[in-house]
Amino acid sequence: MTSHPAVTKIQAFWKTVPDAGIVLKKNTGPLLEIVYFSMGKTIRIMNYVKKKHISRPLVFVSAFIVLLSVMLLTHCAAPEKDAELTGLQERALRFTSPLPEDAFLEGMPRSQALMDLGKMLFYEPRLSKSGLISCNTCHNLATFGVDQLPVSIGHMWQKGPRNAPTVFNAALHRTQFWDGREPDVESQALMPILDPLEMAATQEHVLAVLSSMPEYAERFQQAFPDADQALVYEHVGVAIGAFERILLTPSRFDDFLSGDAGALTEKEKKGLEVFMDVGCNSCHGGPAMGGQAFSIFQTPAERASGKSDPGRFDITGNPLDMHAFKVPSLLNITQTYPYLHDGSVWSLSETVDIVAMDMLSRALTPEENALILAFLEALTGEIPPYALELPVLPASTADTPRPVFD
């Protein structure tokens, strides 16, 4: 997504102001929200404008008022910096950073046509053999991108081996899946469609379904205008991946990291301190608070049963990778129960105790546990409204393959 021209202008304008940092927080729907900070204080401007009807004078008047306030703050009423709070922010910024506006990498295609198509495909159950299962079945965007089941249920009620991680903020991970077997969301998206336990389809089925509906053929043309052939299987992954690259959920913690020391409560700040003091941040780092590294882990249920998931070992064959799993993201963690790769623990408090003991050999006191939980609570973000607006899918035609239940 490119910035609204008005935003680009305001940003250019502010760049000339010494000491003023600017972070654009949201630019979706009719709400244009701009957050910027100066001398450790955050000022927030919210313009409720319909993008189509944005009035230039309004933008410039706002920009002028903002400029004045920045100058006032900087020169007249320079606020006393609270050393401790600023220290906490600086410390946190050593292991994480505010979420970017989206997760597109330099040079990636990112047209609206592509994202709209990706959203339709994400919600499209006819990609599956049964015509029943879409990505959204297991990564329900209304429940923070998960199915809230211990392990997922796929084609013909088959149980998969692992808990479904959320698709929100997943595009920021260095690798995809618990064992990191796919490098990015584009390649990842092609796997569940063909997985016999999940959507159980074939590439031929997917292409037959999509080419049977003229609207899809047209939308692929619009999304891939330069391709020799627009409707090919790989492009299904590219389109879904493009949609996933905007599935980021900024939270109050991002406001805190962007300079607003008051965005977290005292209790949450204490929780952040405990989180860092005991060393959770050594693994749960990066803007998604995870997704960057692997670690060896067996769940208590696995230890009790003696049957443990080999994790990354199955991919690399390296004995050092036995039971290695990707460090999961902690964003929206209060919403994405049950926990751990086998979904065996429903309580977040219990999960935190288990992980602290296993990863850090640390028995948390009930107070420490409660403070960490308060901090994790603050990582619950806002789902982009665009993702929650259901797309209307085209009607099947006589050529659309019928559902198959076997």
Annotated catalytic residues are 198
- Interactions with ligand HEC, residue window 71-130 (CB under 6 A): none
Q: From the list 282, 316, 380, 400, which residue makes contact with ligand HEC (rule: CB under 6 A)?
A: 282
> Quick check: 263 binds ligand HEC (CB under 6 A)?
no
> Quick check: 248 binds ligand HEC (CB under 6 A)?
no
Q: Which stretch binds ligand HEC (CB under 6 A): 69-77, 173-181, 245-253, 257-265?
A: 173-181
Q: Which stretch binds ligand HEC (CB under 6 A): 14-22, 98-106, 279-287, 394-402?
A: 279-287
* CA 27 to centroid of chain Cα atoms: 17
> Quick check: 196 binds ligand HEC (CB under 6 A)?
no
247 φ/ψ angles, rounded to the nearest 5 degrees = -85, 60
> Quick check: 288 binds ligand HEC (CB under 6 A)?
no
Q: Are 37 and 254 in contact (CB under 8 A)?
A: no
3-state secondary structure 189-256: CHHHHHCCCCCCCCHHHHHHHHHCCHHHHHHHHHHCCCCCCCCCHHHHHHHHHHHHCCCCCCCHHHHH
Tokens at 164, concatenated? 């479904």
Cβ nearer to ligand HEC, comparing 40 with 241: 241
- CB-based contacts of 363, cutoff 8 Å, min separation 6: 353, 356, 357
Tokens at 136, concatenated? 């959204």
- Interactions with ligand HEC, residue window 359-398 (CB under 6 A): 359-360, 372
Helix (H), strand (E) at residue 28? strand 20-28
Which residue in 325, 406, 331, 368 sits closest to 156, CA to CA?
406
CB atoms within 10 A of CB 302: 17
The bridge status of strand 31-38 relative to strand 41-48 is antiparallel
Cβ nearer to ligand HEC, comparing 85 with 276: 276
Q: From the list 34, 66, 120, 193, which residue makes contact with ligand HEC (rule: CB under 6 A)?
A: 193
Give all strands (DSSP E) within 286-343, no chain letters.
294-296, 324-326
**C-alpha Rg value of the chain to the nearest Å:** 23
Task: Give the C-alpha separation, 134 to 390, whole Å.
Answer: 13
Q: Are 233 and 206 in contact (CB under 8 A)?
A: yes
Q: Letter for the amino acid at 101?
A: E
Q: From the list 6, 240, 242, 246, which residue makes contact with ligand HEC (rule: CB under 6 A)?
A: 240
Q: From the list 34, 88, 115, 185, which residue makes contact with ligand HEC (rule: CB under 6 A)?
A: 185
Q: From the list 325, 331, 379, 381, which residue makes contact with ligand HEC (rule: CB under 6 A)?
A: 325
> Quick check: 219 binds ligand HEC (CB under 6 A)?
no
Q: From the list 62, 188, 251, 335, which residue makes contact with ligand HEC (rule: CB under 6 A)?
A: 188
Q: Which stretch binds ligand HEC (CB under 6 A): 19-27, 250-258, 262-270, 272-280?
A: 272-280
Is there a cis peptide before residue 338, judged by omega within 30 degrees of 0?
Answer: yes
Q: From the list 28, 140, 211, 295, which residue makes contact with ligand HEC (rule: CB under 6 A)?
A: 295
Nearest distance from residue 12's CB to ligand HEC, in Å?
35
Nearest distance from residue 273's CB to ligand HEC, in Å?
12
Q: Angle at which helices 83-92 and 266-278 pack, to 10 degrees?
A: 50
Cβ nearer to ligand HEC, comparing 103 with 283: 283
Residue window 131-170: x/- pattern of binding to ligand HEC, with contact defined by CB under 6 A: --x-x-xxx------------x-x-----x-x-xx-x--x
Cβ nearer to ligand HEC, comparing 189 with 257: 189
Task: Give the C-alpha separation, 359 to 324, whole Å.
Answer: 12
Task: Give the C-alpha separation, 13 to 15, whole Å.
Answer: 6
Q: Which stretch binds ligand HEC (CB under 6 A): 22-30, 68-76, 220-228, 328-336?
A: 328-336
Q: From the list 5, 196, 262, 279, which residue makes contact with ligand HEC (rule: CB under 6 A)?
A: 279
Nearest distance from residue 259's CB to ligand HEC, in Å?
25
CA atoms within 13 A on the CB side of 331: 33
In the complex, which residues of this chain contact ligand HEC (CB under 6 A)?
A: 133, 135, 137-139, 152, 154, 160, 162, 164-165, 167, 170, 173, 176-178, 185, 188-189, 192-193, 198-199, 240, 278-280, 282-284, 295, 297, 299, 325, 327-328, 330, 333, 336, 339-341, 351-352, 355-356, 359-360, 372
